Each structure stands twice: as C-alpha cells, then as structure tokens.
C-alpha cells in the first residue's frame, strides 16, 4: 500500500514538486484499483436490471463495501445503497456526496463481447455499470487514504432511466439520514474522445417529460362520415397544433422540443373509421415556467380539439427528470480539479443538450456539478466505446474509470481539505 500521509500538509501550501510527486503516487494507487474495477464493471454488465429491480448491483456494491469495511446501508429508495467514509478528521462537520446510477435499459445487447448481458432484453447501454464501478473504486481509494477532513457519502441510485430514483431516495430520507453539503456526478460520453471533460454553468441537460393522449369516439363506415367521428383527423390536428406551441408561443430565446413519437389508430382496413386513437411523445425544455406553459397549453389544445370533434379524451403528462443546472461556483471547483489533475487542455465547455438526467433532482436540493467524461475511441469510430448511449452496440470504456476517480478524489481532497 502506498503512503499518503503528507498530502494534506503540502496541499495547504503552494503547488510544488512534492505535490506532483504525491499526485503521481495517488495516480498509481487509483490506476491499480482501476485495473481491478474493470472486472467489477464487467460482472455488473453481465447482470443488468432495470427500474427498482437492481438487486444484483445492490448486492454487489454492498458486498464490496463490506469487504473493505465501509459502512453502508442498502434499500435506500428500494434498491439504492449509501456508503459513508469519514476522513482522518471527521469533525469538520462537512460532507460531500458522489453519485452513481446502477440501473440498465430494456435493450437487447448486440456487442458480442465476452461480458455481454446474460439477461435477455436488458442491457447496460448507458454505462451505469461503469458509473457504479467508478464510484466503488473511488470508495476503495478514499477508504484506504482518507486524506480529507469531514465525510464523503457515496450514493448508488436506482431507476435513473425514467423511474425518478433520485426522488425516491430523497423521499426515503437520504438528505436527513446521510446529510451532505455538495454533490457531484458524471456521465460517460461516447461522443467525445477519451480523457476530455465537458461541463457548463447553468442549464446543461433538459427536463424530460413524457405524455400520452387517448381519444375515443364513434367508429363506423368510412363512406358515412356524418354518423361517426374522425379520430384520425382529430389526431393530426393535435399534432399540427402542437407544432405551434414551441414555434409561436414560446419566447424564441427559450428552448424546447415537443415530439409526438407514436400515433396509433385504425384497424388496418381502408373502409373503417376507428373509434380510438392514442398519441404519445416527449417534451424537453430547461426553464420551469416553459415546462408549465407547455403542459398547460397542450391540455388546452387536446381538450379543444376533442370538443370540436365531440370526442372523449384523457391526457397524462409525466415529469420524468428535472433539468440539470450546474451552479457556476461549483463548476469552477470542477474545472479547477480537472485542470490540476489533467491540465487545462482536458476541460471543455459543453453546449446544453436536450437529453435528460435524474441528477437534476439532487442539484435542485444541494449544490454541486454534473460533468460529461469523453470515452470515445477517436481512432476507431466502430469501437463499442464510440457507439451512442442507448444503442445495442455500446460498451462503457473502463479506461475512464481511473480518470474519473482521480477527478473525484481531487474534488474530495480539496473541497474537504485537511
């Protein structure tokens, strides 16, 4: 085991040769943990489970933590795990949290890799297996070194993919039972080369909402429209009116997407008017007032069109994830940490994306930051590490595990400096 006894003493002063030596020492330890962590990640990858059924990941994480003597509790938010690591001088009363998500997706894997999913129709296609292994590796490092003052909480969150797992953990008393002042998270990013860190202040990822609409009316003979209702016409009028909500009613400087992704109606026959139609899709935006406005106006459009055609209707609008907005001060901490460890060239400014991430729920309650870490293989675009998230050919790149652990370790050791 390597010694880290002097890091805190030197860190208090100006950066010097000793700092570089100690960072090299830290890197060596983290790299050795990372080599082992690739094995954990592949085991997790073989055993993917979705939304509150992540019993394998929960038990795996708990087993590792137990093995290393890290206090933890399972069952937080049903299948979540929270671990607690105290620094050498925990009395500071300050705590920071690092979060990993543990759930997989309903996708049939097509990578053909030796560690491919053993669960039919389930796959770690968003790299949460890698996030879990990374935060586990961080725990291993912090427990061995404990070169910080205060407490670190490791949060292993279930149901990130559309299950509001963050909210469920908070509802289960996360903030009271394991209090923390700041929270940090990351997502692997196959769209950028390995080793690049991408972050921005303010809105970085959109709020994600799903909606579904059911229309019911009188079906009938297609040649006698006067005695039946036209569900197809009504459906297309709704779709058409939706297009105006973003383009004509929002401030052009606000951003939103409203996509109807399913429109199901009809029997297949050319001479039958259907008696029902269902539409569903997604809304993405950043600001809370835009979100409220779109939901309210969609409701008005749907009931207006339904009334016009004398149809019965239902409308369900589900808020799946809240926008990820990074407070500027905490982005500064993250940028400084990346720069210290990897140099200025490693950090980049991310454009806002319309993808969603449940981490936003934590950021609405505690300050912190969320960062993307490139994992793509620039030499080989066909590599599984370069495939898009949520695609059947994707695989987490284990090489980013130690990079993220170094970044998180730097954050822990500076935000909780001894």
Residues designated as active site: 103, 160
Site map 53..92 versus Zn ion, x via CB under 5 A: ----------------------------------------
Closest approach of Zn ion to the CB of residue 407, in Å: 18
Asked if 135 is part of the footprint of Zn ion (rule: CB under 5 A), the reply reads no
**Nearest residue (CB) to Zn ion, 211 versus 394:** 394
Q: Is 383 exposed, middle or buried (0-12, 13-18, 19+ CB in 10 A)?
A: middle
- Binding-site size for Zn ion (CB under 5 A) equals 1
Closest approach of Zn ion to the CB of residue 161, in Å: 5
Closest approach of Zn ion to the CB of residue 125, in Å: 7
Q: In degrees rounded to 5, what are phi and psi of residue 416?
A: -120, 50
Give the helix ranges, DSSP H, for 211-287.
231-244
Would you put residue 121 in left (φ > 0), alpha (ψ -120 to 50) or beta?
Answer: left
Closest approach of Zn ion to the CB of residue 402, in Å: 20
**Nearest residue (CB) to Zn ion, 126 versus 405:** 126
Q: Of all residues in this chain, which one has the CB nearest to Zn ion in the complex?
A: 126
Contact between residue 397 and residue 418 where contact means Cβ atoms under 8 Å apart: no
Residues 111-130 that bind Zn ion (CB under 5 A): 126
**Nearest residue (CB) to Zn ion, 320 versus 336:** 320
d(CA 293, CA 311): 24
Would you put residue 158 in left (φ > 0), alpha (ψ -120 to 50) or beta?
Answer: beta
Contact between residue 401 and residue 131 where contact means Cβ atoms under 8 Å apart: no
**Nearest residue (CB) to Zn ion, 126 versus 215:** 126
Contact between residue 41 and residue 385 where contact means Cβ atoms under 8 Å apart: no
Residues 256-285 that bind Zn ion (CB under 5 A): none
**Maximal CA-CA distance, the chain:** 87
Helices and strands, counts by H and E, the chain: 11, 16
Give the helix ranges, DSSP H, for 343-390.
359-363
Q: What burial letters (b/e) apply to 75-91, b meaning 16+ CB within 10 Å?
A: ebbbbbbbbbbbbeebe
Contact between residue 244 and residue 297 where contact means Cβ atoms under 8 Å apart: no
**Nearest residue (CB) to Zn ion, 159 versus 238:** 159
**Alpha-carbon dihedral of residues 160, 162, 165, 166, nearest 10 degrees?**
80
Give me Rg for the CA atoms of the chain: 24
Closest approach of Zn ion to the CB of residue 391, in Å: 11
**Nearest residue (CB) to Zn ion, 111 versus 145:** 111
Closest approach of Zn ion to the CB of residue 128, in Å: 6
**Nearest residue (CB) to Zn ion, 126 versus 290:** 126
Contact between residue 326 and residue 201 where contact means Cβ atoms under 8 Å apart: yes
Structure tokens at 202: 């303010």
Closest approach of Zn ion to the CB of residue 396, in Å: 10
Name the residues that contact Zn ion, by CB under 5 A. 126
């Amino acid at each position: 085991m390597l010694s880290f006894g002097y890091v805190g003493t030197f860190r208090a002063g100006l950066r010097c040769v000793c700092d570089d030596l100690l960072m090299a020492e830290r890197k060596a330890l983290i790299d050795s943990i990372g080599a082992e962590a690739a094995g954990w990640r592949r085991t997790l990858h073989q055993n993917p489970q979705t939304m509150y059924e992540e019993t394998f990941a929960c038990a795996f994480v708990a087993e590792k933590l137990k093995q290393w003597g890290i206090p933890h509790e399972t069952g937080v938010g049903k299948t979540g795990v929270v671990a607690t690591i105290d620094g050498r001088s925990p009395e500071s009363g300050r705590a920071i949290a690092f979060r990993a998500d543990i759930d997989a997706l309903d996708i049939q894997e097509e990578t053909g890799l030796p560690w491919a999913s053993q669960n039919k129709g389930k796959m770690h296609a968003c790299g949460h297996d890698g996030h879990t292994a990374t935060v586990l590796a961080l725990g291993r490092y912090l427990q061995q070194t404990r070169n910080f003052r205060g407490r670190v909480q490791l949060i292993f969150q279930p149901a990130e993919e559309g299950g509001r797992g963050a909210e469920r953990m908070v509802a289960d008393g996360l903030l009271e039972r394991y209090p923390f002042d700041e929270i940090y998270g990351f997502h692997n990013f196959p769209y950028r080369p390995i080793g690049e860190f991408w972050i921005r202040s303010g809105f970085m990822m959109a709020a994600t909402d799903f909606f579904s609409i059911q229309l019911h009316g009188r079906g009938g003979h297609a040649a006698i429209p006067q005695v039946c209702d036209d569900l197809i016409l009504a459906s297309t009028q709704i779709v058409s009116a939706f297009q105006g909500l973003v383009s004509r009613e929002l401030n052009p400087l606000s951003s939103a997407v409203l996509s109807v992704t399913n429109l199901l109606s009809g029997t297949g026959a050319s001479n039958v008017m259907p008696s029902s139609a269902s539409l569903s899709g997604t809304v993405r935006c950043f600001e809370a007032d835009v979100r409220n406005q779109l939901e309210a106006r969609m409701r008005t459009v749907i009931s207006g069109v339904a009334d016009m055609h004398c149809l019965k209707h239902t409308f369900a609008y589900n808020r799946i994830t809240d926008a990820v907005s990074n407070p500027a001060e905490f982005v500064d901490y993250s940028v400084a940490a990346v720069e210290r460890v990897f140099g200025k060239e490693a950090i980049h400014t991310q454009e806002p994306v319309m993808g969603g991430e449940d981490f936003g729920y934590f950021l609405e309650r505690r300050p912190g930051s969320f960062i993307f870490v490139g994992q793509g293989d620039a030499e080989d675009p066909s590599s599984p590490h370069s495939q898009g998230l949520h695609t059947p050919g994707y695989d987490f790149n284990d090489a980013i595990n130690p990079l993220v652990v170094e970044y998180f370790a730097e954050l822990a050791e500076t935000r909780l400096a001894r």
